[in-house]
Structure 1
Amino acid sequence: MIRVLVADDEMLIRQGLTAILAGEPDIEVVAEAADGVAVLAEVRRTRPDVVLMDIRMPVLDGVEATRRLTRTQAGVRVLMLTTFDLDEYVYQAMRAGASGFLLKSVPREHLVTGIRTVAAGDALLAPAITRRLLEEFLNGPPPGSTTPVLLEGLTPRELDVLRLVGRGLSNTQIGAELFLAESTVKTHVTNLLAKRGLRDRAQLVVLAYESGLLRPGA
């Protein structure tokens, strides 16, 4: 059973999300919260697997709440919900440790799939949000012939895998691209996370672009 906390400052939205999830046999909404401070308190009280987090909330916004959660509650995954794909907080939230992003306008089935995806430890980025995210890297360092400092210590194969993770490929797709077994790809991803002290694939995407290994349009 996936335990979910629903966080949004609008009561009707919280109630609507809770009602949607109530019909899923493998998902249980264990708490609701109207601001970031309440999120932190409810996480400590109910120990959810996934926090469905609005970015813009009073008292403490979703970005800072995510940052504090990822520092103190290692097992909790955060799936951010935003009204606009151009939300200026999207990149900040990803760097804070959010595992995924969805627009509030997504169909019900996408929301449910998104919760299951991040609960399983994978990253989830809505296409429109991905485009916005990549724009943040346009002024970043260009990829060069030498290994960027952020990537020192990674093997050539790990760099290959990281590059494809950054492009949004799944383990199965990466395996097909590199002629590797899916289990081998999963091992490389695990090693990448461990070597860089990262939580999940979302942060690997950040690393791939922030280091200059990838550039938008590559």
Structure 2
Amino acid sequence: MTNPGDDDQRPVRVFLVDDHALFRAGVRAELAAAADRVEVVGEAGSVAEAVAGIGHWAPEVVLLDVHMPDGGGAEVLRRVKAGESEAVFLALSVSDAAEDVIAVIRAGARGYVTKTISGRELADAVVRVRGGDAVFSPRLAGFVLDAFAEGPGSTPVGDPELDLLTPRERDVLRLLARGYAYKEIASELYISVKTVETHVSSVLRKTQLSNRYELSRWATDRRLV
């Protein structure tokens, strides 16, 4: 027979969703130091795996990457919420872009933290969202407040040119505009230098610009930096 307070004493069951296996391994290792508070019960590297895994493991908190090749965090939220899961979702992403934060919160996430967070801070964030708090990395909460201040269901004004870019192309462009070299962008986003070059070429084609300096100015004008 269990006592009413037992749930407060056991670790929070966590499911980890990220398309990079090395990053998932790193998060597991970091959270292992807080095994008395959190327990990673499963993981997934794609939207389909995430939906199936969350249904199987019934976690209390899902750590969710925002950008994945087959749809990303918002798509996981849409599919899982349709299945009536009781899990709470906390976005964990390399991106600190306002549009990414707003999109995943609108989809149903309870918070959003960036991958620069320490293992101890991440464990704290997991426990807090499980307890009902909304958790954000510094300055990200302002994006949400600004977006929802306009009223429930409102959406930011669109930019037709910006809408042509994929979420990953925006990530690459944002870092490029901040002065990152291709190798640094690749390291930051866990992709290859060749993939970075491909994304930059695609952005140049879509924006009809000629070089990274023009791209940087274009990104700055649209407040991507």
Residue 11 of structure 2 corresponds to residue 22 of structure 1: no
Residue 53 of structure 2 corresponds to residue 5 of structure 1: no
Instruction: From the CA coordinates, give the structure whose radius of gyration is larger.
Output: 2
Unaligned runs of 5+ in 2: 1-10, 153-225
- The DSSP-based 3-state class of the residue aligned with 1:89 is helix
Aligned to 1:122: 133
Normalised to the residue count of structure 2, the TM-score between the two structures is 0.58
Contact 2:55 2:85 in 1 (8 A): no
Aligned to 1:99: 110
- The DSSP-based 3-state class of the residue aligned with 2:89 is strand
- The DSSP-based 3-state class of the residue aligned with 1:80 is strand
- Give 1:135 shift: 3.9
Task: Please give the alpha-carbon distance, in whole angstroms, between the structure 1 residues aligned to 2:139 and 2:80.
Answer: 26
**RCO comparison, higher one (Cα < 8 Å, 6+):** 1
Unaligned runs of 5+ in 1: 142-147, 149-218
Contact 2:37 2:123 in 1 (8 A): no
Task: Please give the alpha-carbon distance, in whole angstroms, between the structure 1 residues aligned to 2:100 and 2:75.
Answer: 10
Task: Please give the alpha-carbon distance, in whole angstroms, between the structure 2 residues aligned to 1:22 and 1:127.
Answer: 25
Contact 2:74 2:104 in 1 (8 A): yes
Task: Determine which of 115, 119, 135 is the counterpart of 1:108.
Answer: 119
Task: Please give the alpha-carbon distance, in whole angstroms, between the structure 2 residues aligned to 1:62 and 1:86.
Answer: 14
Amino acid at match of 2:102: Y
Normalised to the residue count of structure 1, the TM-score between the two structures is 0.60
Contact 1:37 1:60 in 2 (8 A): no
- Give 1:106 shift: 1.3
Contact 2:31 2:120 in 1 (8 A): no
Task: Please give the alpha-carbon distance, in whole angstroms, between the structure 1 residues aligned to 2:106 and 2:92.
Answer: 15
* Equivalences, count: 141
Taking every aligned residue pair, what percent have the same amino acid on both sides?
33
- The DSSP-based 3-state class of the residue aligned with 1:68 is helix
